Structure 1
Amino acid sequence: MKVAVMGAGSIGCYYGGLLARAGLPVTLIGRRQHVDAVTERGLLMDVGGEQHRVPMPATTEARGVADADLVLFCVKSGDTEAVGREIAPHLRPDVTILSLQNGVDNPERLEAVVSRTVVPVAVYVATEMAGPGHVRHKGRGDLVMGPSPRDAEIVARFAAAGVPVQVSDQAMDALWGKLIVNCAYNALSALTQLPYGRLLQMAGVEAVMRDIVAECVAVATASGVSVAPDILPAVLGLARSMATQKSSTAQDLSRGKPTEIDHLNGIVVRKGAELGIPTPVNRVLVTLVKAVEVARAEDAGMASAT
């Protein structure tokens, strides 16, 4: 099984690196700084308190997906359609595409531009890029994926790489469950630049999270999604299991990158408006994160001008 990772950020590098370490031919497709580092020195992985260098090919070109049996699609939600159009001419007719992305609408949006089935995958992992070509694992790593014709082979390949994978007809419900967790943590972690453990210790944060979750559950339920009855304890418990983790939105803001807020709390706000369900707390978080994005972009522009 040949594997291509489209979007070699922390998620793509982590899973692609594990598969390559287990012996599969894996090509990383990402930004120039990471590609150059991996090409020169291999992918550096911090996993389980150990460091591993995993040699593998890497490229900045979309045609890196050519001949891949399996594509791990790991780009930011805002880039889904644009990157999908780039890779579409190079995809094999029988390719299996796994969407390992935040949000709940990426598989549908990607299918529309690549004209191939896209399998939704809920990703439960804490990772970060510690530098060019250097990924650091900080917790968990299991996946819940929707059914596909290659279920057995994909599960076996990931298992051999040490990645637990559950195949489920309720993968979209799992994606919504993860979205609710992300809505509770991502924006608050980004605005405060605090890791989850310290964040939940702040006065008033738990009450705000409860409000966020209540709005998300109302929208999900009205959308026909089955939400786990223990979703609130699961949300609050994440601060213990991933105490040192900062959200991907926090990492994006700190690096001056665009965030995925429109595809996290933003999608709850939009669907709530369609369904007539108020989502004031989620709306405030979207507004504040986007305001910080603008402010940081202006600061960066002023700094480059001087």
Structure 2
Amino acid sequence: QREPDASVWLRATPRLTLPDVPQAKRVAEALSGTRCTVELSSDFISLAWRKLLQNAVAGLMVLANRRAGMFSRPDITALALAYLQEGLAVARAEGATLNDSVPQEIVDGFHRAPADLGTSILADRQANRPLEWDIRNGVIQRYGHAQGIPTPISDVLVPLLAAGSEGPG
């Protein structure tokens, strides 16, 4: 979680997951013995898409200007699950192997999180900095359109996040 002084508050143990390729093994060796665990994955695409889905649904926090506690609302939970289902369809079309349970698991993670948990994109919005909306949310819309998958929730969220980041207004 990015703090106002530009420091980062890690609420979990530092961990980096990389694709199982020779270059990543060099990174793992370089970080050996540090406080950061490095894991190599043969199915990195699935892990990356799962993380992307988690980051994308955090975009709802930006639009509501609220922290993780907002996910305790049944209407927000329903919206988050619908958005995650949309993203899951895109992720699978792009080659990710993710179970049907992933959307619920992600939402359950927000339900278990401290109510005051923020995200870097929310901190950026509250500090009036540009948002990482395109790499978190725009990618789902773009890949969905390219795959012919309807993205009705993305088609609403992405323009709102872009306008919140770049204006005008």
Moved over 4 A (4+): 150-153
Q: Distance in 2 between matches of 1:193 and 1:159?
A: 39
TM-score (norm 1): 0.50
Is the CA contact 2:137–2:158 (under 8 Å) kept in the aligned structure 1? yes
Equivalenced residues, count: 168
Question: Which residue in the other structure is 2:16 paired with?
Answer: 143
Higher helix share: 2
Equivalences for 1:23-34 in 2 at 5 Å? none
Question: Which residue in the other structure is 1:249 paired with?
Answer: 121
Q: Distance in 2 between matches of 1:170 and 1:184?
A: 22
Question: Which residue in the other structure is 1:281 paired with?
Answer: 153
Question: Which residue in the other structure is 1:88 paired with?
Answer: none
Q: 1:294: how far off?
A: 4.2
Q: Distance in 1 between matches of 2:47 and 2:115?
A: 22
Q: 1:243: how far off?
A: 4.0
Equivalences for 1:76-155 in 2 at 5 Å? 127-131=1-5, 134-149=7-22, 151-152=24-25, 154-155=27-28
Q: Which has the larger radius of gyration?
A: 1
TM-score (norm 2): 0.86
Is residue 175 of structure 1 aligned with residue 39 of structure 2?
no
Q: 1:230: how far off?
A: 3.0
Q: CA 1:269/1:136 → structure 2, altered by over 3 Å: closer, same or farther?
A: same
Residue 139 (structure 2) aligned to one of 241, 244, 267: 267
Q: 1:285: how far off?
A: 0.9
Q: Distance in 2 between matches of 1:211 and 1:283?
A: 13
Is the CA contact 2:45–2:95 (under 8 Å) kept in the aligned structure 1? no
Is the CA contact 1:130–1:136 (under 8 Å) kept in the aligned structure 2? no
Unaligned runs of 5+ in 1: 1-126, 299-306
Q: Distance in 2 between matches of 1:150 and 1:273?
A: 32
Q: CA 1:233/1:244 → structure 2, altered by over 3 Å: closer, same or farther?
A: same
- CA deviations 1:18-39 (Å, max 9, x no partner) are xxxxxxxxxxxxxxxxxxxxxx
Is the CA contact 1:139–1:242 (under 8 Å) kept in the aligned structure 2? no
The amino acid across from 1:158 in the alignment is L
Question: Which residue in the other structure is 2:33 paired with?
Answer: 160
Unaligned runs of 5+ in 2: none
Q: Distance in 1 between matches of 2:101 and 2:158?
A: 25
- CA deviations 1:257-290 (Å, max 9, x no partner) are 2211122221111111111111111221112112
The amino acid across from 1:290 in the alignment is A
Percent of pairs identical after alignment? 23
Question: Which residue in the other structure is 2:105 paired with?
Answer: 234
Q: 1:155: how far off?
A: 2.7
Higher strand share: 1
Relative contact order higher in (CA < 8 Å, ≥ 6 apart)? 2
Question: Which residue in the other structure is 1:72 paired with?
Answer: none
Q: Secondary structure at the match of 1:216?
A: helix
Is the CA contact 2:46–2:95 (under 8 Å) kept in the aligned structure 1? no
Q: CA 1:166/1:180 → structure 2, altered by over 3 Å: closer, same or farther?
A: same
Question: Which residue in the other structure is 1:218 paired with?
Answer: 89
